[in-house]
Amino acid sequence: MAAAAAPPGAFITLAEPHSSETEVKKSRFVGQQYRSSDDGEPGGTAGRPILAAIEGEGLDGVAVLVIRFYGGIKLGAGGLVRAYGGAARDCLRAAPKRQMTPQVQLRLQVPFELLGPVYPLLEQHGAQKQEESYDDAAGVSLVVLLEAGKAQALSAALADATSGRVQAETIG
């Protein structure tokens, strides 16, 4: 799965359906890009503690939303920091983790007579077939997904096995 930063305003739709007594605070951390929001709370009491929880757990490619239902009790700055940061930390610790590997999509145009060597190469390099279409004149058009670090090796292997007749075009 390719890691990508959430577009600006990506969290707004979650905040809108809740009543005015609900506070939605958010932080996200993707690679070297990070962002947090206190969304009306005193500066540094909501978004930054959530972001600190993400960093403290050593995670990347994460978006965290903490929804607080205001019950009429004022927590003060320290209480807000503990509430938001603690909720984020507890959830991050309990959540299942998955190792993410950058992926790339490749498009291949394969003449019918070259399918024999191409399919085994795709399998050897761990490419997952996403699309396959047939054309009587052009052969088979394939879109495959594989780890970004394996794309160059697959491209070289395809060019070698097909005498340069099959080229991999990166499309995503």
140 is a domain residue: yes
> What is each CA distance from 171 to 15, 143, 148, in whole angstroms?
34, 9, 12
Are 85 and 49 a contacting pair, CB within 8 Å? yes
Which domain covers residue 54, as residue numbers? 12-94
Are 140 and 115 a contacting pair, CB within 8 Å? yes
Tens of pLDDT, residues 96-136: 998 888 999 999 999 999 999 999 999 999 999 999 999 99
Tens of pLDDT, residues 139-171: 999 999 999 999 999 999 999 999 999 999 999
Report the number of distinct structural domains present in the chain: 2
Q: Are residues 89 and 113 in the same domain?
A: no
CATH number at residue 140: 3.30.70.240
162 is a domain residue: yes
4 is a domain residue: no
